[in-house]
């Protein structure tokens, strides 16, 4: 055989190998209920030693066991507490914002004693009135996707200077926001309605904490805690979702120091990847009084063991920096998971939780989200709160609000709508009003 063609073929294969290596493998996605595998959910009320949890005191120990497993195998470990040098400064206040309908505050939070270190920018709207004119307000807290200016067209909101994911529709140019991003997600926040109901609403751009790309986990907050790169960090080190969840607790630290906000009545909320984040933040930080998951899907409210819609392998392949590296061990073997998302929801008990789905959002597995909320019920019952109280998934646009757990599925797609906000406000009226 002539060796020259062989060498030529080998050279071509070597040259093309990076191209083929960069091409993600085909990952099957199931949308057929008939193909959901048989599964057995781990019982949140059976301890690691096999003993039954029958008392609230025993649940406290079991809760720590579950937090340990979720930390080690799914989300990665979170550093305890806030950094010693963390401090903040209110940079602007307008008590006649939105045409006199709200007070607007902007607060810069530094995570070290240095002003050139990692930071986040907190935006707060609250019902109008002079300082000290009202008793402290309950509040909603959540991340936004395109800078604080995306939540309302208010020209007084400082334009974010942080890195952002490319998005031509939302006028992200050169990975930076433009003036055209003002109010592009206003419908997802419905600020005027929330404030008119007597609530404050606070938000931070999630990219302030961790850029939503692989490099993000080794920058900013990730660098502060020496996380390492997405592929070289410890197998149980946190990823982006863990960092984002940590940031929500730090935002709550700031709200707790504001005499106009009642930090004991704060609802943490999030949509999609930020819904996963809200659940993990609420599971860890028991100061959040209400936790809201909107269309959070795999790694959020949906049961992983159903392998319906987005699955563990797909999410770990698409976003290898979101979760702990250990989570990849369950790619195509969800049945081997030691925990599932009903236990994550149970970690919020006895505090209130609201899980929401959208009829057309099969990627997020609405049925799996409902079942996770339902199977958290025994823990709520143990702690004296009623779970969903229904066995079957409710009809579209027919919300079920239990004493501790609420669920609704609405018509439409993957989004947050005024319908969702109306349900969250109704729920908040029940659990945050005094």
Residue 414 falls in the annotated catalytic set: yes
Best CA proximity match to 258, nearest among 118, 109, 431: 109
Closest CA to 344 of 74, 58, 81: 74
Query: Pairing relation of β-strands 172-173 and 102-110?
Result: unpaired
Alpha helices in 319-365 (DSSP H): 341-346
Coil, strand or helix at 293: strand
155-173 burial, b for 16+ CB within 10 Å, e for fewer? eebeebebbbeeeeebebe
**CB contact at 8 A, 218 and 324:** no
**E strand segments, 33-99:** 87-96
Q: What is the DSSP string of 229-280?
A: -TTTS-TTB--HHHHHHHHHHHHHHHHHT-TTEEEEEEEEEEETHHHHHHHH
Catalytic residue among 71, 160, 249, 272: 272
Active site residue 272: yes
| Residue 120, SS3 per DSSP | strand
Helix (H, G, I), strand (E, B) or coil at 410: strand
- Tokens at residue 228, please? 């390492």
Give the Cβ contact number of residue 234 at 10 Å: 13
- Residues labelled catalytic: 272, 414
């Amino acid at each position: 055989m002539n060796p020259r063609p062989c060498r030529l073929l080998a050279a071509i294969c070597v040259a093309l190998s990076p191209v083929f290596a960069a091409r993600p493998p085909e990952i099957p996605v199931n949308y057929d209920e008939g193909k959901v595998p048989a599964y057995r959910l781990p019982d949140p009320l059976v301890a690691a030693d096999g003993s039954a949890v029958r008392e609230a005191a025993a649940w406290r120990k079991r809760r720590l066991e579950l937090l340990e497993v979720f930390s080690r195998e799914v989300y990665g470990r979170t550093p305890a507490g806030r950094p010693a040098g963390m401090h903040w400064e209110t940079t602007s206040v307008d008590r006649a914002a939105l045409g006199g309908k709200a007070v607007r505050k902007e607060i810069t939070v530094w995570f070290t004693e240095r002003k050139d270190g990692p930071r986040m920018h907190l935006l707060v709207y609250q019902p109008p009135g002079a300082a000290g004119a009202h008793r402290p307000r309950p509040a909603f807290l959540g991340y936004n996707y395109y800078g604080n200016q995306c939540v309302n067209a208010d020209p007084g909101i400082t334009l974010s200077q942080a890195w952002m994911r490319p998005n031509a529709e939302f006028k992200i140019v050169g990975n930076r926001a433009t003036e055209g991003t003002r109010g592009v997600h206003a419908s997802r926040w419905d600020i005027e309605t929330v404030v008119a109901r007597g609530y404050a609403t606070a938000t931070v751009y999630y990219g302030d904490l961790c850029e939503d790309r692989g490099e993000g986990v080794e920058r900013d907050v990730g660098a502060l805690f020496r996380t390492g790169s997405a592929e070289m960090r410890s197998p149980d080190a946190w990823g982006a979702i863990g960092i984002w969840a940590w940031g929500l607790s730090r935002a709550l630290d700031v709200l707790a120091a504001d005499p106009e906000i009642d930090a004991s009545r704060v609802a943490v909320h999030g949509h999609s990847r930020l819904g996963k984040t809200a659940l993990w933040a609420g599971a860890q930080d028991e100061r959040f009084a209400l936790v809201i998951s909107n269309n959070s899907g795999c790694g959020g409210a949906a049961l992983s063991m159903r392998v319906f819609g987005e699955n563990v392998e797909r999410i770990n392949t698409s976003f290898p920096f979101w979760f702990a590296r250990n989570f990849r061990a369950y790619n195509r073997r969800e049945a081997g998971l030691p925990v599932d998302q009903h236990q994550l929801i149970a970690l919020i008990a006895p505090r209130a939780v609201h899980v929401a789905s959208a009829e057309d959002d099969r990627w997020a597995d609405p049925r799996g989200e409902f079942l996770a909320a339902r199977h958290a019920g025994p823990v709520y019952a143990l702690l004296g709160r009623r779970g969903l109280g229904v066995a079957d998934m409710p009809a579209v646009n027919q919300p079920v609000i239990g004493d501790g757990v609420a669920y609704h599925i609405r018509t439409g797609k993957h989004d947050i709508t005024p319908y969702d906000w109306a349900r969250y406000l109704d729920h908040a009226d029940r659990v945050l009003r005094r």
